[in-house]
Structure 1
Amino acid sequence: MSDIVTPLDTPVVGDVFLRNFRKADGRMLYLYGREAHGLPVQKQQNDDIATGGEVRFHPLRGEWNIYAAHRQNRTFKPAASADPLAPTIAGGPTTEIPFEDFELAIFENKFSALHPLAPAPPQLDGIDSEGATGRCEVIVYTPEAEGSLHTIGQDRRRLLIAAWIDRYQALFAEGCGYVLPFENRGDEVGATLHHPHGQIYGFGKVPLVQQAAIDAFAGGYDLAAEIAAAMPDYGLSEANGMAALCPRFARFPYEVWIAPIQCREGPWDCSEEELDGFATLLGEVTRRYDAFFGRPTPYMFALHSAPREGCDNYHFTAQFYPLLRGPDRVKYLASVEQHTGVFTVDVMPETAVEALRAI
């Protein structure tokens, strides 16, 4: 069982320490903090872990989709007393994190759709299929059972960004073609755990949507120019070289992007000042959403960065897709959106930015 504490060389203010811990079931746990983590191990889980599924190519959509039947029985809305993302406390239930406390934790998902050891699947005539190689990880923002990107505070958001950057570097080094940190928040999105957390997928192949963005940037699309043109009327806020805005081409009601004003490939490419602004805006956007809708806002959030191989002119964004078009009205993705990819937007971006600015 490996257990090493090392300082991280990442662009943050002050030291960030990393404890690499191999769990009893073989999965890795990474503990990030402002102080070195040295607590003793409590009792551990030791379940059988699946090694991923398969990917099959859809010939009419041009995309690779993941098939992972073992995820059908994953943890679903456990009671608060059985929170699997809480610390493991003496006398309490055994959780994913076998320590009594931590600052921020990342571990390999027990129900991983992608795995570096995914076996080659049986071949079907006329269907291209491969093992679903890659990584799926869970990021636990805080040991507290409740919270958001706003309430965890600026220092914890900076720690989260440092952890994202470290995992980007590690997963690229493992050979993942594209890395997507993301968060599913709320029942309407399908989140099955309410403890404040996100995830990271390290894809063996670049997904279709991300490849389209790569092609657009490589073809000369200038997002910096779009941000400059949009900010006067569609800008929500600005902090240390980072902008938050409602895109003029938004597909979701109240969609917000955070992006560096100057072109950057990913958070690893940003200055310390820009990362501080990024952390500020992550908290501000979440605060505005919750205040505007009057409740914890269900959303899909993800970082869109350059692939492992890089891309000329790629411009990093962090994108929030709320699943509400009003405090009690869900934006459903129904037949037209699902069958064609063409979205019907119920709230104009210019209306959305005015409403969010007023908070």
Structure 2
Amino acid sequence: MTNLLEHTECNVQGRTIHRRHFVKRDGRELFLYGYRPHTLAPLNEDDSAVAKGGELRYHPLRREWNIYAAHRQNRTFKPSAADNPLAPSAEGSAPTEIPFTDFELAVFENKFTSLHPKAPEPASVEALKMMRASGRCEVIVYGPQDFGNLHSLGQDKRRLLLAAWNDRYETHYDNGCEFVLPFENRGDEVGVTLHHPHGQIYAFPFVPRVQQDAMMAFEAGYSLTKDMKIWGSEYGVAKAGGLSAFCPPYARFPFETWIAPDISARGPWEFSEEQLDGFAHLLGDITRRYDEYFQRPTAYMLSLHAAPLKAGDSFHFTAQFYPLLRAPGRVKYLASVEQSTGTFTVDVMPEMAAKTLRAL
């Protein structure tokens, strides 16, 4: 197995970003990104067996594929600080997922993965459409500290995160994945079991229904660029570097906020340096506004909706925040109506949400 030092061609404000490729003892890949070359020697590692994904089953009434991965029932659940698997490893201590004493930002294959490039063929079930759960699931750890958020990380770390996201987009699309979703779950209400600041990346072997519908809408002529201009300042929250943060009039969550380039782009890999700076700034700014308004670390889901592999140039990238709160101290529950019909009941008008967040 190899332990390679690699350098990307990406520069952030004149600084080269370095990427180290390390293969763990259990065969999983680990990538270390940073403004400095990472040359530390690895410590002891856990080499226990890793499951190779689950299976995909098609829901004929909802017309969607779902992932079934029974082994994920045993994934790490709210460990103590001493057993934090996302922390740097330490001499003489139990190994963590990152077998180094320090790092800037890390991406590794999820040990409790739903998708795997070597996923087995599922056993056939009569009258059921099934498929291998190929693809890949990765964890992206924002840094060695077990505290912080997208705002407190600072602009330099957010720019490093964008460089890592773009590198993973390129890698997964080059490997034939149909859709790549970087995302972050934050807070107990979202079901987070590891509170060390981190996100995840799912590289799908198919285009999920939500993204398929979006791709079809853009190809049919829907223009988010045009609508953003029509909505104007009433739905706007903030602007930076040619990108806008806004609460769309058709938001499904109270205080749902999107970040999008003012002129359509398929994904952040097409952004200019100015746009990357603006995007990085707005990721932190929206997190700050949420925490200030809700008076606590806000529980939210953040997902990056970039173009699927085969989408055309009309696709318009958005980063979408879904808060799980509707007011300070009040949770927004997705109950029977939402779960049964997909029809959301929204307690806060998007224009009022935008006005509230804009004022912070």
Provide the rounded CA distance (Å) in 1 between the counterparts of 2:230 and 2:287: 24
Please show how residues 300-315 of structure 1 align to structure 2 within 5 Å.
Answer: 300-315=301-316
* Length-normalised TM-score, structure 2: 0.98
Cross-structure match for 2:337: 336
| Contact 1:11/1:272 (<8 A) preserved | no
| Contact 1:51/1:118 (<8 A) preserved | yes
* Length-normalised TM-score, structure 1: 0.99
Shift of 1:250: 0.4
| Contact 1:10/1:165 (<8 A) preserved | no
What amino acid maps onto 1:7 in structure 2? H
| Contact 1:231/1:245 (<8 A) preserved | no
Deviations 1:337-356 (A, max 9, x none): 01110000001111111111
Provide the rounded CA distance (Å) in 2 between the counterparts of 1:337 and 1:310: 29
Please show how residues 1-359 of structure 1 align to structure 2 within 5 Å.
Answer: 1-10=1-10, 12-13=12-13, 14-359=15-360
Shift of 1:312: 3.3
For the residue of structure 1 that corresponds to 2:56, the secondary structure is strand
Shift of 1:47: 1.2
Shift of 1:308: 1.2
For the residue of structure 2 that corresponds to 1:150, the secondary structure is coil
Provide the rounded CA distance (Å) in 2 between the counterparts of 1:104 and 1:218: 36
Provide the rounded CA distance (Å) in 2 between the counterparts of 1:234 and 1:180: 26
| Contact 1:10/1:166 (<8 A) preserved | no
Shift of 1:135: 0.3
For the residue of structure 1 that corresponds to 2:10, the secondary structure is coil
Provide the rounded CA distance (Å) in 1 between the counterparts of 2:10 and 2:226: 29
| Contact 1:224/1:261 (<8 A) preserved | yes
Let me know the Cα RMSD of the aligned residues: 0.8
Provide the rounded CA distance (Å) in 2 between the counterparts of 1:18 and 1:126: 46
For the residue of structure 2 that corresponds to 1:15, the secondary structure is strand
Deviations 1:36-82 (A, max 9, x none): 10011111111110000000000001000000000011000001111
Once the two structures are overlaid, the 10-residue window that deviates more, 348-357 or 160-169, is 348-357
For the residue of structure 1 that corresponds to 2:12, the secondary structure is coil
For the residue of structure 1 that corresponds to 2:26, the secondary structure is coil
Shift of 1:84: 0.4
Provide the rounded CA distance (Å) in 2 between the counterparts of 1:67 and 1:316: 28
Provide the rounded CA distance (Å) in 1 between the counterparts of 2:345 and 2:289: 24
Shift of 1:11: 5.7
Provide the rounded CA distance (Å) in 2 between the counterparts of 1:136 and 1:52: 9
What amino acid maps onto 2:17 in structure 1? V
| Contact 1:217/1:312 (<8 A) preserved | no
For the residue of structure 2 that corresponds to 1:9, the secondary structure is strand
Provide the rounded CA distance (Å) in 2 between the counterparts of 1:220 and 1:11: 35
For the residue of structure 2 that corresponds to 1:114, the secondary structure is coil
Shift of 1:12: 3.1
